Chains A and B, each alone.
Chain A
Amino acid sequence: MTALYRERPVVVGSGAIALAVLALVAAAGLHDVAQTGLNGLTLGTIYALGAVGLTLVYGILRLVNFAHGDFLTFGAYMAYLVNVTWGQPLAAAILFAMAATALLGLLSERLMWRPMRSKGAGFLQLMLMTIGLAFLIRSAIQWFWGTEIRTLDVDVTDSATFLGLRIGQTELMVVIIGLGVLVAVGLIVRFSLLGKRMRALSDSIDLAETAGIDTRRVILYTWLFAGALAGLAGVLSGALTNLRPELGFELLLPIFAAVILGGIGNPFGALAAGLVLGVAIEWSTLFIEPRWKVTFGFVALIVALVVRPQGIFGKARVV
């Protein structure tokens, strides 16, 4: 079994998940499992969007970006600006938020991370700078919008019923847009030349550089992806619930969990782990009171890190 897991982690992992689902259905009934699973898919889409960007940056730049959560918050408030303050449709707000957050990512690379890399800054130095950046973004948001809870102009009451399962219009939008974008990003990373270069940088920046890859350009594209995906995750999360300055920071730990479970630097792993984590957290409410579900998510993160730091799909290496 262990040998098989080492050979084919994806097969064994999927098998284990399938078994867990069967056990759940037997215990809680098909309808409840499917309904909570659907809710979890919505949550998981947001985790996955955040995690794919974070893992690309983490894998390529070895930068543990604690400001990534606040990138999400930034995106959500940019959408608020367009959608509510200027009264434009949500689609325009989403595009604007993605563009603005991508720009924020590019700016941070240009003004902070590139100069610091050329100075040869260490891991701790960079990590503390990301916390500083998180505080700056949070401060700007509180300065302009205050701490009160705000909502985007979306209909949260309308819902559709399908095979006896209820899904809200907003949830449906989150899942369709989110998964659509994730598939597109997945295809780019897997099949495009840019994606190939990103993976090369993720293995070793120096080797990629000697192979003639314009690493600066690839890094800028990485921030572009990370920022746009974070912005989208922020808007979708804001549409699903509401906007507050802590929105992104509260999502940061589950997103880290998805990054680590998926194996650091592996965008497909992060995507899958984000979805699995969202669904698992919602399924946990079948057995524990819903107010404990966030705690459950964090405990799952700690256990996963301690037991399998290389991720569910990752190969064992020095961790």
Chain B
Amino acid sequence: VSPPPLAVTFEAFANLGFWSGVLVIAGIYAVVALGLQLNVGYTGIVNFGQAGFMAVGGYSMAILVLEAGLSFWLALPLAVLITMAFGVLIGLPSLRLRADYFAIVTLATAEVVRLVAQNARGLTGGNKGLYCEFEGVNQVCFDDSWRSVSDWMLGVVESFWADPEPLLPLLLVVWATVAIGTVGLGYLQRSPWGRVLRAIREDEDATRALGKNTLLYKLQSLAISALLGAFGGFFLALFLATIHPDDYEPIVTFFAFGVLILGGLASYRGVAVGAVLLWVLLEGTRFVELPISEQKTAALRFAIVGVVLIGLMAFRPQGMFGKREEMVLGD
């Protein structure tokens, strides 16, 4: 007997492992979109290259562990620094450009990163991706150190929860990062530094006339966004247990923009809400037993993000928590 159309499978709703996965993904997108919020919502620079920063972060970490033989804990901060330096390197010539040109340059840069990852096979594993490498008979994986921490955390949890969800440690770390990011960026935003960023968003020439080095501020904004992108890249790599060029397509950046717009521009707390809402919406479609194939379900996801972007921009450009008067509505 085939299931009746549009029936909801209730047992799946209770599937803890599945929802943990959804929340991890939502958290990763929240981390990444926090950077976009700083850039787009508060500085007025349209960064379309966030997927590129994720890729630089993830690949640098894995390459440092697997090829250079560094410890995971040393590789993380180094990869963050590399990604931030990359952001500054890209921003230095391109942040002087008009907003639409900057958007295209960042998108192209992200694509160059992905194509290099795909083609520089010696370093990145090309289309096979990166995960483990053999050193003699020992297999070394980039996430070995994380796995041991994760196991230790699960051991602690086991004292009061017999069979804990294996994704729980990653879930906690990702959402702790979201919380720190949201609070930290909110704090920065209320500082004099944050006020200069908003001044740049409103009127860059006037801000420059007040003696502020606007390029420097925009670079800092981009570098912080790159930092958050790098963390998103680490978490994605740990979640998927592999690093593959296809996971860093421009689509990732655009989905993060969906999160950003849903939560609302110029609101940090909106980002987390937008991320959870969008991903529950995207993954929730799996439980509505539609009489359609897997491929059509995938098509439906694009339609959801498309409708979210168009509908919100047309009828509620401030999203859920954004402030209309703070949106860059004009040119």
Contacts and interface: CB of A to CB of B under 8 A. Distances in A.
Interface of A: 64, 112, 115-116, 120-129, 131-136, 138-143, 146-147, 249, 253, 256-257, 260, 291-292, 294-295, 298-299, 301-302, 305-306, 309, 318-319
20 contacts: A116-B314, A122-B327, A123-B99, A123-B100, A125-B317, A129-B314, A132-B308, A132-B309, A135-B306, A136-B306, A140-B299, A143-B300, A147-B295, A294-B115, A301-B105, A301-B108, A305-B101, A309-B97, A309-B98, A319-B97
B306 A120 contact: no
A139 B305 CA distance: 10
A127 B98 CA distance: 14
B106 to A, nearest CB: 9
Nearest to B119: A291
Given A122-B328, A122-B331, A143 B108 contact: no
Contact of B108 (A121, A125, A128, A298): A298
Contacts of B302: 135-136, 138-139, 142
Given A253-B107, A298-B115, A128 B101 contact: no
B136 interface: no
A253 B100 contact: no
Contact of A129 (B107, B119, B250, B309): B309
Contacts of A299: 112
B303 interface: yes
Nearest to A256: B104
B115 to A, nearest CB: 4
B331 A123 contact: yes
Contacts of B305: 132, 135
A125 B316 CA distance: 10
A125 B109 CA distance: 23
Contacts of B111: 253, 298
B4 interface: no
Nearest to B97: A309
A129 B105 contact: no
Contacts of B298: 142, 147
Interface residues of B, number: 47
Interface string B79-105: 000000000000001100111110111
Given A121-B329, A306-B94, A306-B97, A253 B310 contact: no
A253 to B, nearest CB: 6
A291 B289 CA distance: 42
B46 A292 contact: no
A127 B105 CA distance: 15
Contacts of A291: 119
Contact of B303 (A120, A135, A292): A135
Contacts of A309: 97-98, 101
A139 B303 contact: yes
Interface of B: 40, 46, 93-94, 97-101, 103-105, 107-109, 111-112, 115-116, 119, 250, 254, 257, 261, 295-296, 298-303, 305-311, 313-314, 317, 327-331
A132 B103 contact: no
Contact of A127 (B103, B119, B307, B329): B103
B310 A146 contact: no
Contacts of B328: 122, 124
A121 B328 CA distance: 10
A306 B254 contact: no
A142 B295 contact: yes
Secondary structure class of chain A's binding surface, majority of residues: helix
A298 B261 CA distance: 28
Contacts of B250: 249
B98 A319 contact: yes
Given A123-B331, A129-B314, A136 B98 contact: no
B116 to A, nearest CB: 6
Contact of A260 (B101, B109, B308): B101
The CB with the most chain A CB atoms within 10 A, among B46, B97, B112, is that of B112
A132 B107 contact: no
A249 B306 CA distance: 15
A142 B298 CA distance: 8
B103 A128 contact: no
Given A302-B109, A305-B105, A309-B98, A131 B257 contact: yes
Nearest to B293: A146
A124 B260 CA distance: 13
Contacts of A116: 313-314
Contacts of B331: 122-123
Contacts of B107: 253
Contacts of A139: 299-303, 306
Given A260-B104, A309-B101, A120 B330 contact: yes
A133 B310 contact: yes
B309 A305 contact: no
A139 B309 CA distance: 14
Contact of A136 (B101, B115, B295, B307): B307
Nearest to A300: B108
B101 A143 contact: no
Contact of A128 (B99, B295, B313): B313
A125 B306 contact: no
Contacts of A143: 296, 299-300, 303
Given A112-B310, A135-B302, A298-B111, A128 B329 contact: no
A115 B310 CA distance: 13
A306 B311 CA distance: 34
Contact of A131 (B112, B309, B314): B309
A133 B103 CA distance: 18
